Structure 1
């Protein structure tokens, strides 16, 4: 009998679905935001400030940011699991990415809701 050894980033359907759904959310947001910018003839700072004063835009932007952070984490984690074999180095890099992504998320949240 052959014993199958699973190595690398094999986390299953949940992570696959999260990455695909987050990609769709980011694509829809990008298309919507691009159309909003293209529809307006002039798009000044005041127009942008007024756009982001809308609660719906803030919530959809927050959803975009969360999707981006999840998408990035799953992708980077899979790359680390596949290509970085020393456990201590992989752990250090994963913790570094978690800290960086958390900082980016907090920073984006502060910008968006201030």
Structure 2
């Protein structure tokens, strides 16, 4: 019998995705902070010009997708570890469904919003 896991149906694949997504987010942070440090006193036009280049659009898309995967896996793990009937009683199953649904809706909404910001112009 296959057990339900966070994203991929496999705990080891989820672990791998979370680590890869953390690396993508770290690279994105270094690139953005590096640009800010190298371009002190920049204005909106310079920032817009930097963020709307094709490489930054692609890196931003990867960062958003990585954030969605990382957040979903992490929150799923928190919910399955701490929202249990053993700790909270019979209401835990319903609460876990509500919390899980809220996270799914939030990460999908944030992903759509971020993709729209970077690719809708």
**TM-score, length basis structure 1:** 0.87
- Give unmatched runs, 5+ long, in structure 2: 85-91
2:109 to 83, 103, 106: 103
Query: After alignment, is 72-81 or 39-48 more displaced?
Result: 39-48
What's the CA shift for 1:88? 1.8
User: What RMSD, in angstroms, separates the aligned Cα atoms of the two structures?
Assistant: 1.9
Q: String of CA shifts for 1:68-107, please: whole Å, max 9, x gaps.
A: 1110110000000011122221111101110011011111
Would you say 1:113 and 2:119 are equivalent positions?
A: yes
Q: String of CA shifts for 1:27-86, please: whole Å, max 9, x gaps.
A: 011011111111113211000111122111101001001101110110000000011122
Higher relative contact order (CA 8 A, sep 6+): 1
The whole-number CA distance in structure 1 between the counterparts of 2:15 and 2:116 is 29
**TM-score, length basis structure 2:** 0.82
Report the equivalent of 1:3: none
The whole-number CA distance in structure 2 between the counterparts of 1:41 and 1:82 is 44
Detail structure 1 runs of 4+ shifted over 6 Å in the superposition: none
